[in-house]
Chains A and B, each alone.
Chain A
């Protein structure tokens, strides 16, 4: 029977090449926990928005009913969900080992994400052009930060996809690349989840 040294300062709690560890599951679980903390960040932004969406928070400027358009928001919903579906289907191609299928899904996903961001930038720039920038009132600060934080997540997701478009043909479906693709799938699906909440709370209830 093998003897085991008592744990001390030099003990390694996790060895990256130990056969008994499932490296991919460890990484996806870690990333999932990060996303749950990211969701709490969005909770804080939603609360700030909710508290400031009233005439006093607007400081004489507009509140949600005057600046959001739920019909335009639906087009953004189509774009972000289409992007998420395209990336998710890319991971079906991953299951089949199809490099072309994965890369095609990622490219379609990027294009739809750019459509989504185009709508968002157009909306925010339009508000600023009317003099309703993020520094105009507490409400507009909360509105811009909430929308732009989600938009920034989308930008980083696109950058991540571009990196994967380089890594897939150069490194192949190695354990590291597969783990990154799985984490990106969770991250991207999470953007659709956050958008549904933004759309319902800001664009629909806000417009009612």
Chain B
């Protein structure tokens, strides 16, 4: 956090606003999303390569937004936002990773297959 300012317009988070950074953030995200749309519509990649390509473009877009829109860096004004984000990212990864792992083979491990359902019951 930064030192207090008597004039709120002199605050570092107000001074941080930048026309070129916001326009660059807008342009970078649009270009990356347009590229992802083109890859999607062509459908020339196998599914695994396709998802990796799209995930890479999405990650690049998120990084561009973090740097250009949110202005995250290690400056005195922004350091705690950057640190809290870095500490939260593992929570996202754990939530997503562990849930995907749990549900990846849910059907095979919890659902009774139709052929097994022909077992005689206690009433028969």
Contact = CB atoms under 8 A, between A and B. Distances in A.
Interface of A: 19-26, 28-29, 32-33, 36, 39-40, 43-44, 46-47, 50-51, 56, 70-71, 74, 77-78, 81-82, 84-85, 88-89, 91-92, 94-95, 97, 173-175, 177-179, 182, 186, 189, 192-193, 196-197, 199-200, 204-205, 207-208
Given A33-B84, A200-B54, A85 B26 contact: yes
Interface of B, helix, strand, loop or mixed by DSSP = helix
Contacts, number: 149
A85 B37 contact: no
A71 B37 contact: yes
Given A88-B69, A178-B14, A36 B99 contact: no
Interface in B39-95: 40-41, 43, 47, 50-51, 54-55, 57-58, 61-62, 65, 69-70, 77, 80-81, 84-85, 88, 91-92, 95
A47 to B, nearest CB: 5
Contacts of B17: 88, 91-92, 94-95
B62 A40 contact: no
